[in-house]
Amino acid sequence: MAKIWLVEDDQNLANLTKVALAKKGYQVMVFYESLQVLAEAKKQKPDLILMDVMLPGQSGPETVTALRNDPNFRNIPVIFLTALLSTEESALGMTIDKVNYKTLGKPYDIKRLLEVVETSLIKK
């Protein structure tokens, strides 16, 4: 069973997403702020991270950059979730530190999210 970290400050969206992922058999750990992720990274690592872009404290891209500085996290797939980009714009992904990440615009279709998660885990 793949472990997914969901980093999302909107609790309703986080709960809906967690339920959908759990129904597909994924183990989901939810974080509502980025600093929680950095603390948990010292204890364990996930198979995939779903990361909101705008978060309290530190942004999603800043958090991913911090995680990528740890060799244990360099190859973990990250999918960004954002209301800053339209569905069409998000199809291009986000580039951070010369790495292009899959990105889904909010609100996202759960079926599409599950497809992107599955594809990302297969390519891992």
Residue 12's pLDDT is 95
Averaged pLDDT for residues 62-86: 88
Residue 100's pLDDT is 83
Residue 53 has pLDDT above 70, yes or no: yes
Provide the pLDDT confidence category of residue 124 given band limits of 50, 70 and 90: low
What is d(CA 45, CA 40) in angstroms, rounded to the nearest whole number? 8
| Homologous superfamily of the 3-123 domain (CATH) | Response regulator (3.40.50.2300)
State the chain's mean pLDDT as an integer.
Answer: 89
Q: Tell the burial category of 1 from Cβ atoms under 10 Å away from its Cβ (0-12, 13-18, 19+).
A: exposed
> How far, in Å, are 57, 61, 83 from residue 105 at the CA level?
21, 15, 6
| pLDDT tens per residue across span 27-42 | 999 999 988 998 898 8
Collect all residues with Cβ–Cβ distance below 8 Å to 34 and sequence separation of at least 6.
Answer: 7, 55, 56, 57, 58, 59, 60, 62, 63
What percentage of the chain reaches a pLDDT higher than 90? Answer: 60
Averaged pLDDT for residues 97-113: 88
Residue 9 has pLDDT above 70, yes or no: yes
What is the DSSP code (8-state) at residue 64? H
Residue 25 has pLDDT above 70, yes or no: yes
